[in-house]
Amino acid sequence: MSGRLPWHQAQWRIVDDALRQGRAAHALLLAGPVGIGKQVFAQQLAQRLLCQQAAADVATGGEACGQCRTCLLFQAGAHPDYRFVGIAEDKKSIAVDQVRELGRYLTLTPQYGLGKVVIIDPADAMNVNAANSLLKTLEEPVAGVTIVLLSHRPAQLPATIRSRCQLIRFNAATAEQAGPWLLAEGVKDAAEAALLMSLSAGAPLKALAIKSDNSLQLRDTLWQTLETLAEGRGDAVAAAHQLAGLDKTGGILPLLDWFSSGLLDILKLKAAPQMPFIANEDLLERLHKLALGIPVQRLLSLQDAVRKAAGSVERNLNPQLILEDVLIQWQNSFVVPRPRQSA
Amino acid sequence: MELKIDRESLLKPLQLIIGVVERRQTLPILGNVLIKAEGNQLSMTATDLEIEMVSHMDLEQPANGETTLPARKFIDICKALPDGANVTLKIDGEKGTIRSGKSRFTLSTLPASEFPNLDSFRSNLEFKIPQNQLKFLIDQTSFAMAQQDVRYYLNGLLFEFSGNLIRAVATDGHRLALCDVEAEINAPETMQIIVPRKAVTELSRLLDNSDEPVTVQLGTNHIRLATSKMSFISKLIDGRFPDYQRVVPQGGDKIVLANRSELRQALNRASILSNEKYRSVRFMLAPGLVRVLAHNPEQEEAEEEIEVDYSGTNLEIGFNASYVLDALGSLTGDQVQLELTDQNSCCLIRAPESEACRYVVMPMRL
């Protein structure tokens, strides 16, 4: 991906100004929702810091040239002064050994004399030991080193890490900022762009991902199932079994995300039915209908349940059981006129 | 690009640099060797991002071009070919073809532009020095380097250049080794660099005891050593070495002159019964005599007596036996001189006739 993303202007201004005035921070924490383009930003920044051309005319600022030897090396993923630290394959967190190795690497002089750049992504995946062993490096890195931490959950980072970094926050992009970019990336028309932006809560890269994978289909299946359950038909356990098998790669987290975004929309519809500022705009009618059947109190506790369910996924609970739990609660939340059973 | 070389002249330079190629690389291109032909010159480069080695050889038929080939596969093929075989290497697009007799191998290449070698080297100081002198400096001091210390600047060997003196210093915080060598370097000012442990080990292996000169170049971020056949480039440790001068004790008044091998053997024997972890031994100095005592947690004891040339007052002092043994083992000559002050001060160990190599060992509180 070439060129700066249009909704990153404010963040680039902060970084460019600092570079121009020679007071660039040695540690940055890029915080913002998933799909806002933090990785793209970090990569572009790294390439810019290591670009021989950009270093030559630092006064004018500007982007990496993409032509010089260091840029070519960077694009080939072989730049010796750049390191990426992420979650190793079949691991769940960034281990302390990775951070120690990084510390050792940073004490050596840079190959091309323009400093070194390290990206740690996602920074909140560092376990406690890893985070602690990074502190020393983060506090007083060798001159010329820039450490860029990425996180969509910055609050999960230890305060000791956060306080050592300059925070650069990425807020949701507006449809105006990202619309033209989405169209250029292959989105059909402005209406679809607006819907995708709304579904992704202002994260354009996520919007593209929603378009390209079967995410929307997943959402439709979910809401069909939920509607059936709400009407008192169908069996929550069977539904959970069917839903749990849908997404082989992503597990049930995408489902829970859609569930939670829909619940939020129903809540909004209940609170202000006349001003439907909801994410799932295309489901307005259906959500309206559902909103009529469920009390606010139950919606709130359902939301809690879904949030807890997402936590349970991370703790490796059985996905089907988790789904069963929320689906049963969903079904029970609706006041369905049932035939009264006589005692 | 097409190269025609005989197997032996290809294999030797390859074997020289293959040690740098790690078996498990972080980047695929680090598993490759850069091959560059310019007229009658062929150079091959391998790097692990910390150390870069280039070997040069002459070509009989001039060629021009550059590419990278998988290093291990390339050398394995060359090794497996029969003695005296002629090898033709042809690079065509993304494939490299090796032909020899009736054998034909096609290897995948990666573009040379993606190879992270150092293309320009600006040196702040350049001089020539006989190989054996440099090897001497390293071998006399490198054992005292720290290993994976958090004080990262100790995990390497300090080289200090001033005037016509090269000094190597290594310390792990408990002992220090220092060695001086005179050479015509004409350093305009004092310069210090710290060479990482890995490069020091590799250099000690590469340099031999001949007096063939090696060209040393110091850059801001790298050190480069070159002979006619190869060049070796290492990154440096980006840090400040502690002020070692303050550690070297001056004017110790208790001077012990001992037979080096006698002291060493006695210490070796005594240390068998020292605490396995701390290796502590007790030295009891009396005029004309040193007693070495050791005991371990099992209450086993060793005692050694060595006749020495000493006329000072009595002193009892503890040392880590391995540190003293390392120093005694590095020194040459029959006699060794120990300079002590008191129980809580460092001991300086050196040859009585020369100040070139000095070793400082911290005492232990017993």
Which residues of chain A fall short of a pLDDT of 50?
Answer: 1, 343
Percent of chain B with pLDDT over 90: 70
- Fold of the CATH domain A6-171: Rossmann fold (3.40.50)
The pLDDT, as a whole number, for residue A337 is: 56
In this complex, the residue of B114, B148, B238 whose CB is nearest that of residue A109 is: B238
**Which residues of B are less than 8 Å from A72 in CB distance?**
113-114
* Average per-residue pLDDT for chain B: 92
The pLDDT, as a whole number, for residue A269 is: 86
- Fold of the CATH domain B2-114: DNA Polymerase III; Chain A, domain 2 (3.10.150)
Q: Where are the domains of chain A?
A: 6-171, 213-333
Give residue B141's Cα distance to chain centre: 9
DSSP per-residue letters across B94-133: TEEEEEETTEEEEEE-B-GGG---------SEEEEEEHHH
- Fold of the CATH domain B125-246: DNA Polymerase III; Chain A, domain 2 (3.10.150)
Q: Where are the domains of chain B?
A: 2-114, 125-246, 254-361
**Which residues of B are less than 8 Å from A108 in CB distance?**
50, 196, 235-238
A80 and B CB contact within 8 Å: yes
CATH 1.20.272.10 assigned to domain A213-333? The reply is yes
The pLDDT, as a whole number, for residue B301 is: 93
What pLDDT band is residue B245 in, cutting at 50, 70 and 90?
Answer: very high
For residue A191 the two structure tokens come to 């209406």
The pLDDT, as a whole number, for residue A253 is: 81
The pLDDT, as a whole number, for residue A276 is: 67
Give whole-number Cα distances, A89 to A85, A94, A95, A125, in Å.
12, 10, 12, 13
pLDDT in tens, B30-74: 999 999 999 899 999 999 889 999 999 988 888 899 999 999 999
CB spacing of A111 vs B221 below 8 angstroms: yes
Closest Cα in chain A to B237: A108
Long-range contacts of B246-252 (CB under 8 A, 24+ apart): B247/B171, B247/B176, B247/B346, B247/B360, B248/B176, B248/B178, B248/B348, B248/B358, B248/B360, B249/B339, B249/B341, B249/B345, B249/B346, B249/B347, B249/B348, B249/B360, B251/B341, B252/B339, B252/B340, B252/B341, B252/B345, B252/B347, B252/B348
Pick from B359, B355, B347, B361: which is nearest to B181 by CA?
B355
In this complex, the residue of B114, B222, B239 whose CB is nearest that of residue A78 is: B114
Judge if ipTM > 0.95. no
Q: How far A5 CA sits from the closest chain B CA (Å)? A: 26
pLDDT in tens, B305-358: 999 999 999 999 999 999 999 999 999 999 999 999 999 999 999 999 999 999
Helix (H), strand (E) at residue B66: strand B51-70
pLDDT in tens, A57-100: 665 557 788 888 888 888 888 888 999 999 988 888 899 999 98
pTM of the predicted structure, to 2 decimals:
0.81
Residues in Cβ contact with B23 at an 8 Å cutoff, skipping those fewer than 6 apart? B72
pLDDT in tens, B134-178: 999 999 999 999 998 888 999 999 999 999 999 999 999 999 999
For residue A85 the two structure tokens come to 């630290």
Kindly provide the residue ranges of all beta strands, DSSP E only, lying in chain A, ordered along the sequence: 27-31, 82-85, 116-120, 145-151, 166-169
Question: Stretch B272-286: mean pLDDT, rounded?
Answer: 92
Which CATH number does the domain B254-361 belong to among 3.10.150.10, 1.10.357.10, 3.40.50.300, 3.75.10.10?
3.10.150.10
The pLDDT, as a whole number, for residue A1 is: 40
CA distance A187 to A199: 14
**Which residues of B are less than 8 Å from A76 in CB distance?**
29, 111, 113-114
A38 and B CB contact within 8 Å: no
A143 and B CB contact within 8 Å: yes
B118 and A CB contact within 8 Å: yes
The pLDDT, as a whole number, for residue A169 is: 93
Q: Look at strands B175-196 and B347-350 and give their pairing.
A: unpaired
The pLDDT, as a whole number, for residue A343 is: 47
Give whole-number Cα distances, A46 to A162, A201, B238, B239, B300, in Å.
20, 27, 20, 23, 61
Interface test with B, best of A79, A106, A107, A134 (most B CBs within 10 A): A107
pLDDT in tens, B191-213: 999 999 999 999 998 898 999 99
